[in-house]
Amino acid sequence: MRTRTLGNGGPQVAPVALGCAGMSDHTGPADEADAVATIHAALDAGITLIDTADFYGMGHNEDLIGRALCGGRRDEAVLSVKFGGLRDPDGAFVGIEGRPAHVKNALAYSLRRLGTDHVDIYRPSRLDPGTPVEETVGAIAEMIEAGHVHHVGLSEVSAETIRRAHAVHPVHDVQIEYSLFSRGPETSGILDTCRELGIGVTAYGVLAHGLLTGTYRQPAGGDRRAGWLPRFHPDNLAANLALTDRLRPLADAHGITVAQLATAWVIARGGDTGDIVAVLGARRPHRVTDALAAAEVTLTEADMAAIEAAVPAGAVAGTRYAAPLMALLDSES
């Protein structure tokens, strides 16, 4: 698989990454055998960047990845780990923590669960409003010097915060929601700032949490997305699915699915340097095959224009998250 460097001097990665949240959280746990097989299928195919967080399943996700990588496969993976999301015993998010002591404590537990002596990219999941980002990144830098971390990452932060963090220690990757339904990084200066500073971007939510798959219609029993993702709310869902349907003829013209077209669009937005990597959630091995096909699609300027005309920036109904979660996003400030 074609690879690219994630940020100046960062790790070599494929144009797609494997997001593992769905294996432990959000829409219900995956079958563990399927999850391990999915991680193995990704590695076998050359997908090296594996994204997780210590709060996905309250440690379950890291345990799962650790089991998948045992037996000599650790060196095949670039592990991206988020920290700082605080949860109560019922799973509810109750805050963000970025104090230096927490950085080191959380890392110690992540290393134990993952069964490794280092993580490749370590990042706060959100900006802690009570801790200067310089202190959080400074603590990660200390862990880099100690050999426990290789690269600094950030997630859901503003252009100003990126600059402040980068002044403390080079940042190699900023993770941000970016899709045809979430174009904010284009207008907020986040993408421009990352390119100016030589920072890679890992785009999550590429399929808008399922809305851009082309197969989602109505929530099934147990689907909790409408509660925390307003775009799934009944007041917004029909309009958003109609936008997705406008992509179908364009996908058909390429002989691919709507999901593959939406993914290919995100990858193509990385331009000639390929500075955007699409993080795709998968719980079963065949989803890896779908992602690989999207990475091989070549979109012309005319294709890109047609896609963006079908789904204009700002046309989606509803905010990215419910109000309490939006308030945690420095990237929206």
Residues belonging to the active site = 56
SS3 (DSSP) at 267: helix
Amino acid at 133: V
Question: What's the rounded Cα separation, in Å, for the pair 170 and 326?
Answer: 27
E-state strands within 43-164: 49-53, 78-83, 85-87, 93-96, 119-124, 149-155
Q: Is 322 left (phi over 0), alpha (psi -120 to 50) or beta?
A: beta
Q: Name the percent of the chain in helix, strand, coil, to the closest 5.
A: 45, 20, 40
How, if at all, do strands 93-96 and 171-177 pair? unpaired
What sign for the dihedral angle of Cα 85, 87, 93, 98?
A: negative
Sign of CA dihedral 126, 127, 130, 136: positive
Both tokens assigned to 50? 């594996």
Beta-carbon neighbour count of residue 67 at 10 Å? 16
- Judged by DSSP in three states, 39 sits in helix
User: What is the Cα–Cα distance from 302 to 41, expressed in whole angstroms?
Assistant: 34
**Which residue type sits at 137?**
V
CB 174 within 8 A of CB 143: no
121, β-bridge pairs: 80, 151
